[in-house]
Structure 1
Protein backbone atom coordinates (compact mmCIF):
# COMPACT_ATOMS: atom_id res chain seq x y z
CA UNK A 1 0.00 0.00 0.00
CA UNK A 2 1.42 3.38 -1.01
CA UNK A 3 0.63 6.51 0.99
CA UNK A 4 0.99 9.91 -0.64
CA UNK A 5 2.74 12.19 1.88
CA UNK A 6 1.37 15.33 0.19
CA UNK A 7 -2.17 14.12 0.80
CA UNK A 8 -1.41 13.73 4.49
CA UNK A 9 0.55 16.94 4.96
CA UNK A 10 -1.45 19.17 2.65
CA UNK A 11 0.46 21.94 0.91
CA UNK A 12 2.64 22.85 3.90
CA UNK A 13 6.16 21.59 3.84
CA UNK A 14 8.44 21.18 6.86
CA UNK A 15 10.13 24.49 7.59
CA UNK A 16 7.32 26.62 6.15
CA UNK A 17 5.58 28.96 8.58
CA UNK A 18 2.32 27.60 9.94
CA UNK A 19 -0.93 29.34 9.09
CA UNK A 20 -2.35 30.54 12.41
CA UNK A 21 -5.97 31.53 13.01
CA UNK A 22 -7.30 33.11 16.15
CA UNK A 23 -10.48 31.51 17.48
CA UNK A 24 -12.87 32.80 20.09
CA UNK A 25 -14.89 30.28 22.12
CA UNK A 26 -17.99 31.38 24.03
CA UNK A 27 -19.66 28.99 26.46
CA UNK A 28 -23.31 29.26 27.48
CA UNK A 29 -25.19 27.82 30.45
CA UNK A 30 -28.12 28.69 32.68
CA UNK A 31 -27.52 30.85 35.78
CA UNK A 32 -27.90 27.70 37.93
CA UNK A 33 -25.40 25.75 35.73
CA UNK A 34 -27.93 23.11 34.67
CA UNK A 35 -25.95 22.13 31.55
CA UNK A 36 -22.68 21.78 33.46
CA UNK A 37 -24.35 19.68 36.16
CA UNK A 38 -25.53 17.23 33.46
CA UNK A 39 -22.10 17.03 31.84
CA UNK A 40 -23.15 19.13 28.83
CA UNK A 41 -21.44 22.10 27.18
CA UNK A 42 -22.86 24.63 24.75
CA UNK A 43 -19.99 26.30 22.91
CA UNK A 44 -19.94 28.66 19.94
CA UNK A 45 -16.57 29.11 18.23
CA UNK A 46 -15.73 31.97 15.89
CA UNK A 47 -12.85 32.63 13.54
CA UNK A 48 -13.14 36.24 12.43
CA UNK A 49 -16.75 36.75 11.38
CA UNK A 50 -17.35 33.03 10.69
CA UNK A 51 -18.77 30.52 13.14
CA UNK A 52 -16.95 27.20 13.26
CA UNK A 53 -19.06 24.01 13.43
Structure 2
Protein backbone atom coordinates (compact mmCIF):
# COMPACT_ATOMS: atom_id res chain seq x y z
CA UNK A 1 0.00 0.00 0.00
CA UNK A 2 1.36 3.38 -0.96
CA UNK A 3 1.46 6.14 1.60
CA UNK A 4 -0.15 9.49 0.88
CA UNK A 5 3.23 11.10 0.30
CA UNK A 6 4.26 8.56 -2.34
CA UNK A 7 5.01 10.00 -5.74
CA UNK A 8 3.14 8.89 -8.82
CA UNK A 9 5.63 10.26 -11.33
CA UNK A 10 8.90 8.37 -11.53
CA UNK A 11 12.09 9.74 -13.04
CA UNK A 12 13.08 6.73 -15.14
CA UNK A 13 16.21 6.92 -17.24
CA UNK A 14 17.49 4.40 -19.75
CA UNK A 15 20.96 2.92 -19.46
CA UNK A 16 23.37 2.91 -22.34
CA UNK A 17 24.61 -0.51 -23.45
CA UNK A 18 27.94 0.17 -21.77
CA UNK A 19 26.24 1.04 -18.45
CA UNK A 20 24.01 -2.05 -18.68
CA UNK A 21 26.97 -4.28 -19.42
CA UNK A 22 28.88 -2.87 -16.45
CA UNK A 23 25.89 -3.35 -14.14
CA UNK A 24 25.37 -6.99 -15.13
CA UNK A 25 29.03 -7.98 -14.98
CA UNK A 26 30.29 -5.98 -12.01
CA UNK A 27 27.08 -5.41 -10.05
CA UNK A 28 25.33 -8.75 -10.48
CA UNK A 29 27.92 -11.32 -11.53
CA UNK A 30 30.73 -10.22 -9.23
CA UNK A 31 33.51 -9.30 -11.63
CA UNK A 32 35.97 -6.48 -11.12
CA UNK A 33 35.87 -3.60 -13.64
CA UNK A 34 38.97 -4.98 -15.38
CA UNK A 35 37.23 -8.34 -15.96
CA UNK A 36 38.75 -10.53 -13.23
CA UNK A 37 36.57 -12.38 -10.72
CA UNK A 38 36.11 -10.48 -7.46
CA UNK A 39 36.89 -12.98 -4.69
CA UNK A 40 35.27 -10.70 -2.10
CA UNK A 41 31.91 -10.74 -3.93
CA UNK A 42 29.27 -12.04 -1.55
CA UNK A 43 26.70 -12.92 -4.20
CA UNK A 44 25.75 -16.26 -5.68
CA UNK A 45 28.83 -18.39 -6.49
CA UNK A 46 27.43 -19.07 -9.97
CA UNK A 47 27.44 -15.47 -11.14
CA UNK A 48 26.03 -16.34 -14.55
CA UNK A 49 22.72 -17.23 -12.93
CA UNK A 50 22.51 -13.83 -11.20
CA UNK A 51 23.51 -12.06 -14.41
CA UNK A 52 20.76 -13.62 -16.48
CA UNK A 53 17.90 -12.72 -14.12
CA UNK A 54 17.52 -9.12 -15.39
CA UNK A 55 17.15 -10.41 -18.95
CA UNK A 56 14.03 -12.43 -18.10
CA UNK A 57 10.71 -10.89 -18.98
TM-score category (smaller protein): under 0.3
Higher Rg of the two aligned structures: 1
Q: State the TM-score, normalizing by the size of structure 1.
A: 0.22
- Higher RCO structure, 1 or 2 (CA under 8 Å, sep 6+): 1
Q: Which has the higher helix share?
A: 2
TM-score, normalised with respect to structure 2: 0.22
Give the strand-richer structure, 1 or 2: 1
